[in-house]
Structure 1
Amino acid sequence: MAKPMTKTQLVAALADEMGGDKKTASSALDAIVSVITKEVSGGGAVTLPGVGKFYLRERPERMVRNPATGEQIKKEADKVVKVTVAKALKDAANG
């Protein structure tokens, strides 16, 4: 498995694709992340065409097991961010 792309590498690749400078690409990336964070943390969902859908899912209270001791404990209800990958990205990765 290849190493994940760092933010610096992503900004450089965006700048190349956009034909602009790294400062503009960095601002664009930060703005996209900010919009996604605000929308999802507020309970909404964001779809990036060709990439996937980011959304918030609530998990109910449940019993879990401590793997070190085997003890059953009650875990409070919480929220988790989920990502559903777009079919176009799956097809590109497999094909």
Structure 2
Amino acid sequence: MNKKQLTTLAARKAGVSQKYIADSLNPVLETIIEVLSGGNNITIQGFGSFQVKTMKERKSRNPKTGELIVLPERKVVKFKLANGNQVK
């Protein structure tokens, strides 16, 4: 599901316009991105948590050439669904 589909579905459920949902959702998403970019974690009670993790440097292969390369250490975001919520 992409952002447009999400706003369409949410607008239907809430009985409001898609523009209203998009105007409300955009600042929330921007704030989440800013907080995570700063290296901080976010927990939304009843929804889940976003955690910034550091992946260690590792060796890999270039799929085209087979050449051995070293991937540098990097930060990634992991999402964990809150307890009680299940993906169906």
> Counterparts of 1:6 and 1:62 in 2: how far apart (Å)?
31
My pick for the range that moved more, 26-35 or 14-23, is: 14-23
Counterpart secondary structure, 2:85: helix
The structural deviation recorded for 1:47 is 1.9
1:6 is aligned with what amino acid? N
Matched, 1:14 2:13: no
Q: TM-score, normalised by structure 2?
A: 0.77
Note the alpha carbon deviations across 1:63-92, whole angstroms, 9 max, x for none. 2233455443222111111111222222x6
Q: Please list every run of 5 or more consecutive structure 2 residues that lacks an aligned counterpart in the other structure.
A: none
> Counterparts of 2:74 and 2:4 in 1: how far apart (Å)?
33
Match of 1:45 among 26, 36, 41: 41
> Counterparts of 1:28 and 1:15 in 2: how far apart (Å)?
11
Q: TM-score, normalised by structure 1?
A: 0.73
Q: Please list every run of 5 or more consecutive structure 1 residues that lacks an aligned counterpart in the other structure.
A: none
Percent identity, please: 34
1:87 is aligned with what amino acid? N
My pick for the range that moved more, 14-23 or 34-43, is: 14-23
Matched, 1:72 2:72: no
Q: Which has the higher helix share?
A: 1
> Counterparts of 2:65 and 2:4 in 1: how far apart (Å)?
42
Partner of residue 85, structure 1: 81
Partner of residue 19, structure 2: 23
